[in-house]
Chain A
Amino acid sequence: MSLVNQFRSEQPRPVLVGPSTLVRQAQQRKQRQQWLIYGSRLLLVVGVLLFWQLASGTILDSSFLSNPLAIVRQTIAWLSDGDPWYESTLIINTAVTLEETLLGLFFGVASGLLLGFLFGLQPTLERIFNPFIIALNSIPKIALAPLFILWLGIEIPMKVVLAAVTVFFLIFLNTLNGVRNVDQHLVDAVRLMGGRRRDVVFKVILPSATGSVLTGLHVAIPYALIGAIVAEQIGANRGIGYLIQSSGESFNAAGIFAALLVLTLIAGLLNAVVNLIDHKTSHWKAGLKLSSADQS
């Protein structure tokens, strides 16, 4: 069939010439750039740490700024004061913070998804509640902490609720946005295929809102940690936030830095999870614009 040949003209035909000099040069340039960046970073870290250590006690006041070796000593001390080992200060407090963060994330995401889909699929309901949701969302969540302490005390549930409330709004608003911005043409397409409401929900609205939900999750994961830490600093007797707070109150600068170091590690770990999620879901929207509803 002659028509078949006509299609060929349209199909992309990249011209491959094999490993040319140009390609090799480009690769080398990229490699050099990489070395420069990683080398500079390493130099920067070593430089700052060396300066910090050497200047401590002379130019810098070590009672305010501590020094790297003192921080390492404090970290080791907090790691080795447990019997058995997993009951050391650092591990117990890290576990508490992680527990609060993950539980807060779980409850916040679950409730945000549920209400986001419900309101997205029932526009009238959404219009009724809209001003109240906006009002609630505009309250800085930290300001609610005293109320939660009053209701729940200073144990773990209070931190979970504060983290969950922060996460809830991020997930809820992004889900709502995703469900509402579904392309009506795609919905019509499914109706034309003979699809029922169930097909529209599961084959169009759910997958279509996924991008938006993940954007919300991306922002929410760090915010869950922030919620937990802030709650611990306001009222707690355990957790990394508490460790920072109590070290500060006893003028233990090395303790503050050691706790911050652990906090950075936890945040880094959570960010790695976020990147993994992004990577797993980005295959079909490589060319699409991501709508990000950021908020503070």
Chain B
Amino acid sequence: MSTVIHIEQLSKSFVRNDREIAVLQNVNLDIESGSFVVLAGPSGCGKTTLLNIVAGLLPPGSGTVYYKGAPISGPRLEVGYLTQKDTLMPWRTVERNVEMPLEIRGVPATERRRRAAEFIRLVGLQGFEKLYPHELSGGMLRRASLARMLVTLPETLLMDEPFGALDAQLRLELQNELLSLWSRQRSSVLFVTHDLEEAIILGDRVVVLGTGGHIIADELVTLPRPRDAFHIRFRPDFTNLHRRLWDALMESRLQVQRQEVKL
């Protein structure tokens, strides 16, 4: 398998109140084509920043991110990005929102409508095409966003805690949904979450980013597919992996605290 995303010595700092805050430090990561990689870690560890850099929304501080060998300098059409926050246009109906990326690419109207309808059906929103975002529930908004991302058939998906704001049942439903969609399309996925369970349920590989902004664990998930988002958590290999990742996270937190005490 070839490498889709190659992250080399990536660091990024922000200036806040005249102080420099290091968000990412020397991150090296390779993502194989067709694999589902989950980036997990506590809030504020730089996961979203990393994803924004890979998406081409933010320039790297130092280091380089390559997409299929070429350094990333801006958003790429073959990469889909599902952000944490819903970014559907409130003045467009579900249908017109899903059509929007095609509209920007200059796809003719009839073709646009046909493909939007197809993806709206795929995410289970048929019958809701004419509704505006404020008329949809949280789960339906996520589905519409998912359809908008998938409608351009991206070969790589970036997802930033897409189910973070949903209740537990709905999250399970959508995790199952995502697994079944992915098993059919087999695109490369870089999925960010703070939830270690979610990371193991979905991923081929879980990369844990510590509070210090560097990678503290990188484990392959050998659980068989197809997976069931609910029942998989009762398998012993699931529990073992969960414990290992959790311990790594706690260890890194302790280290950071010790450093802070020393300072």
A200-212 vs B, CB cutoff 8 Å, 1 = contact: the mask equals 0001100110100
Known contacts A189-B83, A204-B89; decide if A194 and B75 are in contact (CB<8 Å): yes
Q: Which of A10, A185, A288 contacts B87 (CB 8 A)?
A: A185
Residue ID in chain B nearest A187 by CB atoms = B87
- Bound-state Cα–Cα, A183 to B101, Å: 18
| A185 contacts B170, C-beta separation under 8 Å | no
Q: Is B104 an interface residue (CB 8 A)?
A: yes
**B75 to chain A: which residues have CB within 8 Å?**
191-194
**B57: chain A residues within 8 A (beta carbon):** 188, 191-192
CA distance A185 to B180 in the complex (A): 28
Rounded to whole angstroms, the CA-CA distance of A189 and B160 in the bound complex is: 13
Q: Does B85 reach chain A (CB closer than 8 Å)?
A: yes
A1-17 residues at the B interface, CB under 8 angstroms: 1, 3-4, 6-7, 10-12
Q: In residues 74-105 of chain B, which contact A (Cβ within 8 Å)?
A: 74-75, 77, 80-81, 83, 85, 87, 89-92, 100-101, 103-105
**Residue from the list B74, B91, B104, B105 in contact with A210, Cβ < 8 A:** B91
- How far in angstroms is the closest Cβ of chain B from A262? 39
Cα distance, A11 to B132, chains bound together (Å): 15
| A251 CB, min distance to chain B CBs, angstroms | 56
Contact A285 B170 (CB under 8 A): no
How far apart are A277's CB and chain B's nearest CB, in angstroms? 15
* A82 CB-CB contact with B under 8 Å: no
Q: Does A140 contact B (CB under 8 A)?
A: no
Give Cα distance in the complex from A204 to B101, angstroms: 13
Tell me which of B74, B134, B137, B152 contacts A287 (CB under 8 A): B134
Chain A CB within 8 A of B118 CB: no
Question: In the bound complex, how far is the Cα of B74 from the Cα of A4, in angstroms?
Answer: 36
Known: A3-B177, A6-B173, A188-B57. A207 touches B89 (CB 8 A): yes
Q: Which of these, A185, A199, A285, A286, contacts B104 with CB under 8 Å?
A: A199
By a CB distance below 8 angstroms, the chain A residues around B173 are 3, 6-7, 10
B101 contacts A288, C-beta separation under 8 Å: no
Q: How far is the CB of B81 from chain A (nearest CB, A)?
A: 5
Q: Counting CB contacts under 8 A, is B135 at the interface?
A: yes
The yes or no answer to A195 lying at the interface (CB within 8 A) is yes
Question: Given that A10-B139, A185-B85, A188-B87 are contacting pairs, would A284 and B104 also be in contact in the complex, using a CB cutoff of 8 Å?
Answer: no
The residues in A between 163 and 194 inclusive whose CB is less than 8 angstroms from any CB of B are 183, 185-186, 188-194
**What is the minimal beta-carbon distance from A3 to any residue of chain B, in angstroms?**
6
A24 within 8 A of partner (CB)? no
B105:A3 contact, CB within 8 angstroms? no
* The one of A188, A195, A283 that contacts B132, using a Cβ cutoff of 8 Å: A283
Q: Check if B28 is an interface residue, CB within 8 A of chain A.
A: no
Tell me which residues across on chain B come within 8 A of A288, comparing CB atoms: 90, 134
CB distance from B164 to the nearest CB of A (A): 15
A195 touches B104 (CB 8 A): yes
Tell me, rounded to whole Å, the shortest Cβ–Cβ distance linking B177 to chain A. Answer: 6
Answer whether residue B140 sits at the interface, using C-beta atoms and an 8 A cutoff.
Answer: yes
Which of B100, B127, B135, B177 touches A193 (beta carbons < 8 Å)? B100
| Contact of B124 (CB < 8 Å), options: A7, A194, A287 | A7
- Which residue on B lies nearest to A206, using beta carbons? B91
Q: Is B49 an interface residue (CB 8 A)?
A: no
A residues within 8 A CB of B33?
Answer: none
Q: Per a CB cutoff under 8 Å, which of A11, A194, A283 touches B101?
A: A194
Report whether B83 and A185 are in contact in the complex, using a CB–CB cutoff of 8 Å.
yes
Q: Does B50 contact A (CB under 8 A)?
A: no
Report which B residues bind A (CB closer than 8 A).
Answer: 55, 57, 74-75, 77, 80-81, 83, 85, 87, 89-92, 100-101, 103-105, 124, 127-128, 132, 134-135, 137, 139-140, 152, 170, 173, 176-177, 180
- Given A185-B85, A194-B77, 10 more pairs with CB closer than 8 A: A11-B127, A11-B128, A188-B57, A188-B83, A189-B83, A193-B75, A194-B75, A204-B89, A287-B134, A288-B90
Residues of A within 8 A of B (CB): 1, 3-4, 6-7, 10-12, 183, 185-186, 188-195, 199, 203-204, 207-208, 210, 283-288
